[in-house]
Structure 1
C-alpha cells in the first residue's frame, strides 16, 4: 500500500506542487480508512461479537466523513477556506459526538448490524459538512486563530482516542493502534485546514496520512487474521470432540454387546441347571463353572467401565471444560474475558462445567451487559477458577447466607443454583466461596479444585473434610 501511495503523491507533487500532493494524500488516507472499516466489518460478521459494534459504527461513520472532507477540500478549497469558522465548529461537534458514542459503548451492547447505522451517520455528517461549506455565509478564521483551531482539534482527537482505549470487545493492542492512527490522521487534517499548503506543512501531512492509514489498515488486517485463526482452532476443537464422542459411543456399543453376551450365557446356564432335573453331576459341575466364569467376566467388564470413567475424570483439562461455556455465553450476547491456562484438575468434567455455568449464569442475571471475567490459576495444591463481573456486586447483608438463601426465606440477593454448585464442588474435594472484594468492584466467586496429580486417597480425604465443613452443628447436610 505504501508503494502506490508514494508513487501517486510523488507524481502529483512533480506535476502540481506539494500543496496538491498533500490534498491527494488526504484522499488516499480516506480510502485506507474505508478499507479498514470494511475489514473490521468482515471480522464482526465472522465473530459476531456485539461488543465490537460501536467501534465499527464509529469507524464506518469516520470513513464516510473523511472521504467527503478530503474530496471537498480538494474540489472546493476556496469555499472551504471562506467558511473555516463554520467547519471548525462543526468538527468540534462531531468530535464531541464521537466521544459520547464511545462512552455509551462501554455500557450498552449494540446487537444490531452496525454497518447500516454507521453509513447512515456518516452520510448525515457528510451532508451537513457539504451544506456548511457551500451554503453557509462566509465566516473565515482570523490569522491568529489558526493555532488555536489546530490545538482545539488535536485535543478533541486525543479525547476521542482516549475513549477508544476504553471500548470493550477488542484487544488492547488493537484499540491502541486505532487510537494512534486517529491522532495521526487528525494531525494531517489539522495541517491541511488552510489552503494553499506550504511545502513543509504538505510534507508533514503526507507522512502523517500515510502512517495513520497504514497503521489502521495493519491493525484491522491483524484482527481479521486473528479471528480467522480462532475460528479454525474452534473448528478443530469441535472436530476433536466429535471424534472423541464417536469413539466413546463405539466403545459403549462394544461394551454393551459384550455385557449382553455375558448375561445371555449366565441365563442359559441357569435355566439348564434349574430346568433339567436329570442332568449329570459332571454336566452340572461344568455349568456351575460356566456361570462362575461368566459372572467373573461380567464383574471385570463393569469394573473396566468404571475405571475408564474414573480415569476420564481423574485429570480434566479445564480449558476444554470452560471453553464451551464461554462460546455459549458469547452466543447469547454476553461479553466474557477468558484465556486458556493449560491447567488440569482431578475432578469430574461434567460437574465442573455445571458449577462454572451456574456462576456465569448469575453474572448474566445480576450484571447484564457487564463483562464476565474467568481466570484460572494455580494455588498451592489446588487450581482456582475465579469468575468475576463488574456489576453492582453482592450487598453486605447478603454475603453471609448467599449459599443457603433458600433456608432463610427470600434472600436480599437472589441467586440461582449456588447451593448446587457448592455441593458439586465439595463432592470432589474442592470449595466454592465468595471473594472478599468491595461491592463497588462487582462480585467474584472462587472455585477451588484438587490439582491434577494428587493421589486418590488425598482426594477422598479432602472431600470428607470439605463435606464435614459444610455441615451444620446438627450433623446433617443442608439441602
Structure 2
C-alpha cells in the first residue's frame, strides 16, 4: 500500500505540474470578456464575449501548436510530425471559425445546418486523416509547411461560404447529425492521441482532454442550446482547452530542452575526456619517438670501429638509459618520488645521444649540481629543448647551468633565427607552432608541464637589442636539499 500511495502521489504531481502556466494562459484568454461585457449591448454581450474568447483561445492554441513544432525539432519523430500538422489545423480551425462567426453572426434559428458546420466537419476529418497517417508512420512531412497550407485552405473555404443555412437542407435533424459527427470525430482524435505512446503519459492525457473540450465547445456553440449558460460553457471549454494545451506544450518543450542541455553537458564531458586521453597519447608518443631516436643514434654509432673505449662505454650507458626510460613510458610503473637529480650525469647521457645523431652541443660539467625532481621528467624536458634547438637552430647549441640561492637555471641556447615577436606569447601552448615548423607544437608544452609539476618554470629569454641571433630557453628548478645530497 505504501508504494502504491507514493506512486499515486507522484503521478498526481506529474499531471498537475505546469498549472500556473495553464492558469495564466486561461486568464489571458478570458480577460477580454470583461471588456466586452462592459462595452457591447446586453442583448449580444454574452454571445460576443464567447466568440472573442474563442478567438483568443484559437490564437493561444496556434501558439501551442508552434511550441509543439519546436518540441518536434528537438526530438524529431515521424509520428509526431503528423501530430504537429494535425494540431496546427485544429488550432487554426478554432481561431477562424470563432472569428468568422464573430464577424458574421449566424441567423437566429434553432438547430440549422450552416456552412461553418460543414467546414468544422471537414477540418476534424482532415485532422483524423493526419493522425492516422502518423499512426502508420508513413513518409515524414514538413509539418509547419503542410499544416499552414491546410489551414489556409480551410480559411479560404470559410471566407467563400455563406452564414445562411445550407441550401440543400436546414433541418434540425440534419444539423443534429452533423453535430454528432463533429463531436464523435473529436473523440476519435482524442483516442488517437491517447494511443501515441511516443508521448509521455501525462502529455497524452492532457492533449486528449484538450481535444475533448474543443468538442464540448462545438456542442455549446451549435445552437442546440441557447442562453447565457451556453455561452459560458463554450467560453470555459475553449479557455480551459487553450490553457491545458499551452501549458502542456510549454512543459514538453522545456523538458526536451533540459534533456538536450544535460546531454550536451555529458557529451562535452566525454569530448573533454577523449581530448585529454588523445592529448596524453600524443605526448607519450612524442616522448617515445624522441627516446627511440636517441637510442637508435647511439646504437648506430657503436658500429664505428674507430671510436675509443671510453666513448663506447658512454654510448652503451646512453643506450641503456634510453631503453630503461622507454620501458617506463610503455609500461609506466607507479610515479617515482621526486628526489635529487644529478644534472651532470643526466646531461652527459643526453648529450652523448644527441652527439651520436650529429648534433654539436657545448657544455661544461658543473661538478655536482642537483635539482629536486623526478629523473625522467628532467631528462624529458631537457631532451625536448635539445631537440628543439637542433631542429630550429641548426646543429650547434649550448647548455649552461647556473645557480642562485635556492634553484638552478639550465639554459639551452641555439644559433637559429629565433622566435618571432608575434609567436612568443603562444609558443608554449599545446598544439601551437610556427607555420614553417616541422613539429606538432607538443614538445614545449610538455616540457613546461613537467617542469611546473616540480615547482619550476620554463621561459623563453627576452631578446635584447644587441643579443646574438637564436633563442634561449631557460629551465629553473629548485635545488636539491642538503639532506638529499
What is the TM-score with the length of structure 2 in the denominator? 0.55
8 Å contact from structure 2 (residues 26, 240) kept in 1: no
How far is the alpha carbon of 1:259 from its aligned partner?
0.6
Is residue 140 from structure 1 mapped to residue 170 from structure 2 by the alignment?
A: yes
1:39 CA drift (Å): 1.7
Select the residue among 51, 62, 72 that pairs with 2:90: 62
Structure 1: how far apart are the matches of 2:90 and 2:159?
A: 15
Of the three residues 94, 99, 118, the one matched with 1:71 is: 99
Please say which of residues 155-164 and 271-280 is displaced more in the overlay.
271-280
RMSD across aligned positions (CA): 3.1
Residue aligning to 2:67: 39
Counterparts of 1:272 and 1:162, CA distance in 2: 86
- Following TM superposition, where does structure 1 have runs of at least 4 consecutive aligned residues deviating by more than 6 angstroms? 144-147
Residues 5 and 28, structure 1, Cα contact 8 Å, conserved in 2: yes
The CA deviation string for residues 307-332 of structure 1, in whole angstroms up to 9 with x for no partner, is: xxxxxxxxxxxxxxxxxxxxxxxxxx
- Number of positions where the alignment pairs a residue of Structure 1 with one of Structure 2: 303
Q: Secondary structure at the match of 1:108?
A: coil
User: Where do residues 45-444 of structure 1 align in structure 2 (5 Å cutoff)?
Assistant: 45-79=73-107, 83-84=112-113, 87-134=116-163, 136-137=166-167, 139-142=169-172, 150-167=179-196, 169-194=198-223, 197-280=226-309, 284-304=312-332
Once the two structures are overlaid, the 10-residue window that deviates more, 16-25 or 98-107, is: 16-25
Cα deviation, residue 159, structure 1? 0.4
1:193/1:112 CA distance change after superposition, 3 Å: same
Alpha carbons 1:85, 1:139 under 8 Å: kept: no
SS at match of 2:94: helix
- 1:9 is displaced (CA, Å) by 1.4
Higher relative helix content: 1
> Which secondary structure state, in structure 1, belongs to the residue aligned with residue 29 of structure 2?
helix
Note if contact 1:22-1:197 (Cα within 8 Å) is conserved in structure 2: no
What is the Cα deviation at residue 23 of structure 1?
Answer: 2.1
Contact 2:78 2:134 in 1 (8 A): no
CA distance in 2, matches of 1:40, 1:199: 34
1:36–1:220 Cα contact (<8 Å) kept: yes
The corresponding residue for 1:383 is none
Q: Deviations 1:243-289 (Å, cap 9, x if unpaired)?
A: 33332332122112211221122123323332145532x65444434
- Alpha-carbon distance in structure 2 between the residues aligned to 1:252 and 1:97: 60
Q: Is the 8 A contact 1:106 1:168 kept in 2?
A: no
Task: Work out whether residues 34 and 63 of structure 1, in 8 Å CA contact, stay in contact via their aligned partners in 2.
Answer: yes
Q: CA deviation at 1:13?
A: 3.2
Quickly say closer, same or farther: Cα 1:193–1:214, change in 2 above 3 A: same
Residues 4 and 105 (structure 1), Cα distance of their counterparts in 2 relative to 1, 3 Å cut: closer
Taking the aligned partners of 1:11 and 1:63, their CA distance within structure 2 comes to 24
Structure 2 Cα separation of the partners of residues 275 and 198 of structure 1: 115
Conserved 8 A contact 2:295-2:322: yes
CA contact (8 A) 1:73 1:80 kept: no
Q: Following the alignment from structure 1 to structure 2, what is the Cα–Cα distance between the partners of residues 180 and 117?
A: 25
Q: How does 1:465-476 map to 2 (within 5 A)?
A: none
Specify every segment of 5 or more residues in structure 1 that has no aligned partner in the other structure, as ranges. Answer: 306-479
SS in 1 for 2:303: helix
Partner residue in 2 for 1:12: 36
Query: In 2, are the aligned partners of 1:105 and 1:167 still within 8 Å (CA)?
Result: no
CA distance in 2 between counterparts of 1:79 and 1:167 reads: 40
Superimposed CA distance per residue, residues 17-38 of structure 1 (whole angstroms, 9 cap, x where no aligned partner) = 3232222221111111111122
Match of 1:30 in 2: 58
User: Which string of whole-angstrom CA distances, capped at 9 and with x for unpartnered residues, describes residues 164-214 of structure 1?
Assistant: 233465444333322211111221122011188312222222221111000
Structure 2, gaps ≥5 residues long = 1-24, 334-485
Question: 1:227: how far off?
Answer: 2.9
Q: Is the 8 A contact 2:295 2:319 kept in 1?
A: yes
- CA separation of 1:110/1:79 partners in 2, compared to 1, >3 Å: closer, same or farther? farther
CA contact (8 A) 1:22 1:192 kept: no
Aligned to 2:387: none
Report if aligned partners of 1:44, 1:53 keep a CA contact under 8 Å in 2: yes
Q: Distance in 2 between matches of 1:157 and 1:111?
A: 24
TM-score by length of 1: 0.56
Cα gap change, 1:112/1:6 in structure 2, threshold over 3 Å: closer, same or farther?
closer
| Per-residue deviation, residues 344-367 of structure 1 (Å, max 9, x unmatched) | xxxxxxxxxxxxxxxxxxxxxxxx
Q: Helix, strand or coil: the match of 2:106?
A: helix
Q: SS where residue 125 of structure 2 aligns?
A: helix
Cα offset, 1:140, TM superposition: 2.8
